């Protein structure tokens, strides 16, 4: 039954996840999905990488969602990531000045994605990071991971998650390519498999 009886907590059970399938590409990606930072903001960083399968082949049919705090560590609460144009029924893009903190980026034919966003600030006990959610054809349920930025080893060494995962921490820390550009590959399976997370 799919009418949930909220008066009975035992009947409130989760709706199962399903794969996003192959044909979301005309539906979910939107104009400006990768341009999360306000236009020409001096705190802008570029993060990019490949999504790879268990044989190291890039996925041309995956997408990632990035979600991160503002540089001062606050959580963006502004909407407008996917502004729609009532005149044409198409997309307007972001408004150029507000920071929503969220973006959605489809991998290209080579399995590569990129985003420009603001350098995340620290929150709570964690070193600064961007939260990532990965979707793909063949992936029956999305996967969460995090992009930590390299630089301050003291801060990274104190991060609870990076400490917890030990030797696998390198899969969570982006590579510094200079000029505010960071490389972060997501390996779904096999050698160097990215650490994926389960929130409890």
Partner 1 sequence: MPLTQVDIDLEIAAEHAAYEKRTAGGAPVEHHPRRGYAPYRSSALRHPRQPLVAIDTGKDPELVELHSPAFGERDITETDSDLTRQHTGEPIGERITVSGRLLDRAGRPIRGQLIEIWQANSAGRYAHQREQHDAPLDPHFTGVGRTLTDTEGRYHFTTIQPGPYPWRNHVNAWRPAHIHFSVFGTAFTQRLVTQMYFPNDPLFPYDPILQSVTDDAARQRLVATYDHGLSVPEFSLGYHWDIVLDGPAATWIEEGR
Q: Which does 10 bind (CB under 5 to 8 A by kind): Fe ion, partner 1, none?
A: none
Give the C-alpha separation, 25 to 33, whole Å.
Answer: 13
Tokens of 82: 């996917």
How many residues are recorded in the chain? 200
Binding mask 13-32 for Fe ion (x = CB under 5 A): --------x-----------
Contacts of residue 8, defined as CB under 8 A and 6 or more positions apart, other chains included, come to: none
If one asks whether residue 194 binds partner 1 (CB under 8 A), the answer comes out as: yes
Q: Which does 182 bind (CB under 5 to 8 A by kind): Fe ion, partner 1, none?
A: none
Give the C-alpha separation, 16 to 61, whole Å.
Answer: 22
Span 17-46, contacts to partner 1 by CB under 8 A: 17-28
Does residue 115 contact residue 103 with C-beta atoms inside 8 Å? yes
Give the number of residues in contact with Fe ion, rule: CB under 5 A: 1
**Of 17, 186, 200, 53, residue with least CA distance to 115:** 186
Binding mask 40-79 for partner 1 (x = CB under 8 A): -------------xxx-x-x-----x-xxx-----xxxxx
Return the number of the residue (89 or 178) whose C-beta is nearest partner 1. Answer: 89
Return the residue of 40, 125, 154, 178 that touches partner 1, per CB under 8 A.
Answer: 125
Binding mask 83-122 for partner 1 (x = CB under 8 A): xxxx--x----------xxx-----------------x--
Give the C-alpha separation, 96 to 12, whole Å.
Answer: 41
Give the C-alpha separation, 69 to 115, whole Å.
Answer: 15
**Which residues contribute to the site for Fe ion (CB under 5 A)?**
21
């Amino acid at each position: 039954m799919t009418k949930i009886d909220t008066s009975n907590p035992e009947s409130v059970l989760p709706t199962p996840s399903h794969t996003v399938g192959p044909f979301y590409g005309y539906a979910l990606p939107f104009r400006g999905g990768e341009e999360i930072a306000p236009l020409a903001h001096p705190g802008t960083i570029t993060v990019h990488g490949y999504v790879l399968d268990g044989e190291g082949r890039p996925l041309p049919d995956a997408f990632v969602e990035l979600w991160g705090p503002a540089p001062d560590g606050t959580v963006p609460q502004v909407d407008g990531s996917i502004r729609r144009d009532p005149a044409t029924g198409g997309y307007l893009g972001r408004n150029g000045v507000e920071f929503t903190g969220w973006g959605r980026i489809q991998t290209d034919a080579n399995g590569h994605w990129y985003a420009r966003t603001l350098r995340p600030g620290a929150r709570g006990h964690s070193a600064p990071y961007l939260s990532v959610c990965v979707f793909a054809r063949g992936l029956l349920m999305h996967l969460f991971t995090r992009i930590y930025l390299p630089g301050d080893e003291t801060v990274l060494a104190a991060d609870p998650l990076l400490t917890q995962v030990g030797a696998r921490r390198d899969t969570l820390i982006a590579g510094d390519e200079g000029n505010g550009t960071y490389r972060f590959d997501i390996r779904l399976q096999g050698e160097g498999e990215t650490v994926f997370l389960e929130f409890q």
